[in-house]
Amino acid sequence: MLTINQSAPNFSLYDAHDILHKLDDYKGHWLVIYFYPKDNTPGCTKEACALRDNSAKFEDLNTRIIGISTDNSKSHLNFSQNQNLNFTLLADPKGEVSKAYEALFKLGPVKFSKRHSFIIDPTGKIAKIYRSVSPSTHSQELIDDLQQLQAEFNRQ
């Protein structure tokens, strides 16, 4: 069971342009990892577009965003281009990273990522876990929580 202040599970996944990304690539930055079920579906599009629209706020908070689903890189490229997304989408077709983050739903041959999110601090530790996410309000919720978490982190 993942908990706050535990090291985030490492990952090594390809993005829509077949570039490999690892958790260590984001050390020194705050990181939002959001898992989502499927590219180009209504809820996932709403959530991704809200994150895109708030990108300047995330940038001001020294925060990178990564979306992960079990869709493949080609699907991510299409979704990213269609929605003009300005953050990274990573392909987890085997569901291994989704499983490590306890975000994998599997029913027989069907598998997809549940709508779960994580804030990872600059040292690679889990700062916040979201197991219940509303696509329309989650982006602002992340911003509010990042402001609070960063204030606490800077006091340490």
* Residues catalogued as catalytic: 44
Rounded Cα gap, residues 82 and 44, in angstroms? 13
Rounded Cα gap, residues 116 and 124, in angstroms? 18
User: CB within 8 A of 77, min separation 6: which ones?
Assistant: 16, 17
Please give the span between the terminal C-alpha atoms of the chain, in angstroms, as a whole number. Answer: 26
Task: State the Rg of the chain over Cα.
Answer: 14
Which letter, b or e, does each residue of 116-135 get, where b requires 16 or more Cβ atoms within 10 Å of its Cβ?
bbbbbbbebebbbebeebeb
